Amino acid sequence: MALPPVQNRVRRFRRTIRVVWFGLFASFCVFGAQVGHSQDSEEAVSPGIAVSQPRRPVESELVVEGLASYGHYKIFASGSGAKLYTAGLEYDRHSWGYFLGARMDYVAEVLPVILLDTAVKSDIWGTPTTTARHIVPGVGFSPIGFRMMWFSDKAWKPYLMAKGGMIVFSSKAMSQQATYENFSLQSAMGLQARVTPRIDLRLGLFSDFHFSNAFIVPVNPGLDVMNANFAISYHLGGPRLEASHGHHGILRAMAIRHPDLP
């Protein structure tokens, strides 16, 4: 069956995808210039003598995370009527010094669990044509990402994040004429709270998860979902917060303020 004219939408979507990926690449070029400044060893210098101090481990985190969508909108994709749920691991490493007062971290993510709750049948724009639904499983990997974290030495740490990669579903996503493979782009903002010196709780209530196939085939419905992200972060390296700063985690602060609590 011949498809309706889509040339204009194809060009528009292609331009949008190029702009998004170019913006992400340009950000890495800007922040990459600062990579050497974040890992310099400290030196104590006296006249004629330079004493090198031991290099401190680079601050890094391993994050166990989950995501649940609570709505969708049409910005970079035309798909609708679907919900997305994910679970996986994220790695954050302080790699690019500081920018605009925020610590710049490299981010990579593996999503072994992706569940797309969508209609059994949809048109080429990703609009459901039936009320019957099914779950389409998938996996994802985002090797390119960055995180800006403000007040990284405090108990409450706002952050801004972006990640780019690919996801693969077990069947064609959002349309029977689309693809199994899709490019993904995530953006998120939220708050990370210290629970103990090594463990943080992350709450991201304002996030976007986009996926589409970038028109590697003529049909590219894609999907944009609003979502909430919840995670537990474990600090792998870097100076211990209780030693280098005079701040306590949430549980420790509550115990100090309320000594009578069990």
Model pLDDT, residue 14: 53
Q: Which domains does the chain have, with CATH numbers?
A: 7-31+59-257 (2.40.160.20)
Distance separating alpha carbons of residues 22 and 80, to the nearest angstrom: 26
**b/e per residue 123-147 (b: at least 16 CB within 10 A):** bbbbebeeeeeeebebbbebebbbb
CB 125 within 8 A of CB 112: no
Model confidence pLDDT, tens digit, residues 123-180: 999 999 999 999 999 999 999 999 999 999 999 999 999 999 999 999 998 998 899 9
High-pLDDT (> 70) share of the chain, % = 69
**b/e per residue 79-103 (b: at least 16 CB within 10 A):** bbbbbbbbebebbbbbbbbbeeebb
* 63 to 11, 70, 83, 86, 239: CA distances (angstroms): 38, 22, 23, 14, 18
Model confidence pLDDT, tens digit, residues 67-125: 999 988 888 888 999 999 999 999 999 999 999 999 999 999 999 999 999 999 999 99
CB 199 within 8 A of CB 192: no
DSSP state of 164: E
* Tokens (6 digits) for 250: 């949430």
Distance separating alpha carbons of residues 36 and 93, to the nearest angstrom: 14
Distance separating alpha carbons of residues 69 and 102, to the nearest angstrom: 27
Distance separating alpha carbons of residues 250 and 262, to the nearest angstrom: 15
Distance separating alpha carbons of residues 234 and 255, to the nearest angstrom: 21
Task: Say what the pTM is.
Answer: 0.71
CA neighbor of 61 nearest in space, from 179, 197, 183: 197
pLDDT tops 90 at residue 208: yes
